[in-house]
């Protein structure tokens, strides 16, 4: 399949230092600091990027599962909330999904959403954290 690369550079101490993270594709490059990770400072952080990756992977995987059953999603919107707790540890990821899928019954949607949560590659790699899913079918 494919291989993807990202990089990060950090300069200085944990609290006073700063770094940058970048995607090899060039789609993103930005700063991160102690404040952006553990407080509310400007910049990004690893957990935010993990959340974006998880939301994107879950949405695509759910689309694939639904498409395989003959349903074409109009829209799948997912938010991933990543909880960084003492340790520090990523202890919980909450996936909140809303999907518009014409002709799909609620029970089939819930089954496929649960399968996407369990089967998407990012969920698998993050299996050390509790992953909760709230999935809503809208029309």
Selection from 74, 73, 120 nearest residue 95 by Cα = 120
Alpha-carbon distances, residue 33 vs 19, 85, 100 (angstroms): 6, 17, 38
- Is residue 71 located within the same domain as residue 128? yes
Eight-state DSSP code of residue 40: S
Does some domain include residue 28?
Answer: yes
Does some domain include residue 1?
Answer: no
Which residue in the block uniquely carries the two structure tokens 């909140």?
A: 96
Does some domain include residue 14?
Answer: yes
- Is residue 59 located within the same domain as residue 116? yes
Per-residue pLDDT of the chain (139 residues; tens, 9 = 90+): 788 999 999 999 999 999 999 999 999 999 999 999 999 899 999 999 999 999 999 999 999 999 999 999 999 999 999 999 998 999 999 999 999 999 999 999 999 999 999 999 999 999 999 999 999 999 7
Domain span at residue 22?
6-38
- Is residue 134 located within the same domain as residue 83? yes
Does some domain include residue 108?
Answer: yes
- pLDDT recorded at residue 43: 92
């Amino acid at each position: 399949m494919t291989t993807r690369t990202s990089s990060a550079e950090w300069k200085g101490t944990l609290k006073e230092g700063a770094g940058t993270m970048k995607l090899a594709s060039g789609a993103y490059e930005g700063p991160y600091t102690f404040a952006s990770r553990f407080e509310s400072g400007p910049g990004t952080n690893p957990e935010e990027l993990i959340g974006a990756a998880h939301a994107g992977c879950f949405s695509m995987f759910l689309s694939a599962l639904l498409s395989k059953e003959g349903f074409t999603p109009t829209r799948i919107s997912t938010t991933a909330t990543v909880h960084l707790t003492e340790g520090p540890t990523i202890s919980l990821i909450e996936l909140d999904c809303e999907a518009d899928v014409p002709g799909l019954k609620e029970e089939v949607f819930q089954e496929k959403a649960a399968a996407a949560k369990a089967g998407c590659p990012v969920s698998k790699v993050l299996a050390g954290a509790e992953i909760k899913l709230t999935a809503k079918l809208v029309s």
